[in-house]
Amino acid sequence: MPQKATKTEEKKPPADMSSFFQIKSKNDSETNNKELQVYDPTKENYHPVKDAIWSLGDNVPYAAFAQTLEAIESISGRLKMIETLANFFRSVGVLSPSDLAICANMTLNQLGPAYSGLELGIGENILSKAISSSTGSNMAKIKSELKTTGDLGKVASSLRSKQRIMMKPKPLDMQFIFKKLQEIAQATGSASQGKKVDLISRLLVACVNGSEAKYIVRSLQGKLRIGLAEQSVLMALGQAAALTPFHKVLDSYDVNSGANKDLILNESYLRLDKKLEKADIEKVVVAVKTAFCQRPNFEPLVRGLLLDGPEKLQLHCPIQPGIPIRPMLAHPTKGVDDLLRRFDNSTFSCEYKYDGERAQIHVLDTGSVNIYSRNQEDNTTKYPDIISVMNNQVVPNSKFTEELADLIIEMKLAVEQEVKQMIGQPIKSAILDSEAVAWDKEKEQILPFQILSTRKRKDVKEEDVKVQVCIYAFDLLFLNGISLVQQTFRQRRELLRTAFKDQAGQFHFATSIDSGDTEKIAEFLDQAVKGNCEGLMVKTLDRNSTYEIAKRSHNWLKLKKDYLDGVGDTLDLVPIGAFYGSGKRAGVYGAFLLACYESDEEQFQTICKLGTGLSDADLKKFSETLSEVKIEGPKSYYSYNAGLLPDVWFDASCVWEIKAADMSISPAHRAAEGMADPEKGISLRFPRFLRERPDKKVEDATSARQVYEMYISQEQIRNQLEKGVNKEDDDEFY
């Protein structure tokens, strides 16, 4: 008989939580470690049942998760890291299927999809107090160890490992931890800080060892730092589903029960021999990635894998209004000639590149409208004025016309009879891709992005809006129950402009021309810049013009006026350190150490020292705001040269847009180290501050791969390469 899962009960520690422990002697530590069950997901010929340290129907022990993270952190090869995580997922999927989505979320340090708005990111002060409360260590000791290690998780692990357990706590499991992390994230109000300290202290007291404490603290910080980002986690999940097809292994599983019980395994499908072709595994991985990009939520993705397998994931993860889609992104291009070379023999369109914030607008059949950012964050409460315009003008004035019906029938998107029944009815559901820009009503013109960035980020009341916005729609991804992402851009654009109508100063279509004439494109670029736009977006109309969800595609190119001189694109970089100013800049930070982001390693790699382009007001402002995130020393995930140390270090917290004259190989910086040179990084020459990017997270900063591609795209470097580097087919997933 399968084992029944027992519910983990929280034991409340006394007020003085450190009394649970005493300092351990070396022998005490060795004895305690021997009592721990060792879980090793790195094993060759891993068996998802026999090599697990829990049984069928049990909830996944947090110890197994922590040991998996520990193993991954110690591995240098990315493929082995993915295989290790896949082995853990295989065991979870067959022994504790109701925990699989939780485990996937927690591997990415998420408490749910981005659009749920539930985030961690607890500050060092609160965590330090909790560590002090749970271990009996004073704040000075914690601060000293943090300065040495640069990792509060390691501090918690070290202090916890030095304690002897007087009353052995009940083992933690993943469901319990996940619930407590959600409770901590949801704590608000005047007493929330004390409540968070108390909740975190209780969690740390319940840890059996230092490893558990380390990863709980890192989870609370929002930074696991194991070297695996989202794409790798999806690859691991896909690999697990390929090697151990959960829907075949689990003969009896009630996905609605929400519990790991009454499970029956069909072990003939465990595929222990791993004799799958690489192409077969890759096929499942692609299916998992595609499904997640359409519906970035592990719950329906995992449900589909458990019930029907990867072949039917589309049924579980369809595009649906109310669930944000990962947007398609563009590659930079150096100029019109480069543009024509890339799009040789293709018809294409040039659109104004608006200087605003990406807005994915969802019209739901319930009558409500939602707005999402490029990071799938729910921006609905940020733009009540857009909601009002959509509800009161755009949607009511958008009818399902006979012309629209004819287009849909011609494209064979739906049954003719069903389409004709919609004629004359209002548009019921849609997903539009657009840009929200600041708008001057009196002058009827676009305002700079800096004006838009002054708006409150959430919970805005329409009557309090001071910065007006105008929407420029450029794509249509979904219409009245029909997904359009597989249609050509020409078709999607025609449907967009047929279904919806301009609303003066509030809702417009992107200004565009369809032309391959060099002079016309150059003239159009000038017009865009004069109209307060950044430049042009150039898109293929017919060939290879489907909407590539979550890809930075070469079928969309961005052409800015700035590109014609210097580096082909501006960079989005993160300040991680600063140098004290002197002379006129005395009393403030005079220069900053900036970094790009290496997603595979989850590292911030230094790329330049910046002091140009910053006004006195900027220096004063940044000296104040960045001082709030000042830390004792560099984080363990900062990659820098010891010969260029800033006076102060910062927690990675904001993104700045930077322009540079060019790029060069440098021994002083670590950006894209090993890509252009085996031992040196890439640095910016004459970097200049342009603006803040409050719409971007630090993980959205320019990647090391992008830095490398920008470096080799420079004309002088390209000429030096004997055979050149052709990256045109290397579209980036994410």
Tens-digit pLDDT profile for residues 439-470: 999 999 999 998 998 898 889 999 999 999 99
Same domain membership, residue 292 and residue 189: no
Q: Poorest-confidence range of 13-27, 617-631, 715-729?
A: 13-27
pLDDT at 647 over 90: yes
Q: What is the mean pLDDT of residues 409-423?
A: 91
pTM score, whole prediction = 0.79
Q: What is the mean pLDDT of residues 532-549?
A: 93
Q: What is the mean pLDDT of residues 699-726?
A: 77
- What are the angstrom distances between the C-alpha of 8 and each of 59, 306, 367, 426, 630? 9, 24, 42, 51, 39
> Residue 568 has what pLDDT?
59
In a domain, 519, yes or no: yes
Tens-digit pLDDT profile for residues 107-161: 999 999 988 888 888 888 999 999 999 988 899 999 888 888 878 999 999 898 8
Range of the domain at 537: 329-558
Q: At what angle do helices 139-149 and 152-161 cross, to 10 degrees?
A: 120
> Residue 235 has what pLDDT?
95
What letter does residue 88 receive in the DSSP assignment?
A: H
Same domain membership, residue 304 and residue 172: no
Average pLDDT taken over every residue of the chain: 87
Residues with a catalytic annotation lie at 353
Confidence of residue 726 (pLDDT cuts 50, 70, 90): very low
Q: What is the DSSP string of 601-658?
A: TTEEEEEEEE-SS--HHHHHHHHHHHHTTEESS--TTEE--TTS--SEEE-S---EEE
More confident of the two residues 699 and 730:
699
Q: What share of the chain is helix, strand, coil (3-state, %, to 5)?
A: 40, 20, 40
Confidence of residue 561 (pLDDT cuts 50, 70, 90): confident
- Among 316, 348, 363, the domain boundary falls at 316
pLDDT at 509 over 50: yes
In a domain, 482, yes or no: yes
Is 2 buried (19+), middle (13-18) or exposed (0-12) by CB count in 10 A? Answer: middle
Tens-digit pLDDT profile for residues 245-283: 998 887 656 666 656 666 677 776 776 555 778 899 999
Domain with residue 484: its CATH number is: 3.30.470.30
Tens-digit pLDDT profile for residues 371-390: 999 988 999 999 999 999 99
Domain with residue 666: its CATH number is: 2.40.50.140
% of the chain surpassing 90 pLDDT? 62
In a domain, 563, yes or no: no
Same domain membership, residue 716 and residue 630: yes
In a domain, 424, yes or no: yes
Tens-digit pLDDT profile for residues 308-327: 999 999 999 999 999 999 99
Same domain membership, residue 714 and residue 613: yes
In a domain, 603, yes or no: yes
Q: Poorest-confidence range of 9-23, 254-268, 641-655?
A: 9-23
> Residue 731 has what pLDDT?
57
In a domain, 8, yes or no: no
Into how many domains does the chain fold? 4
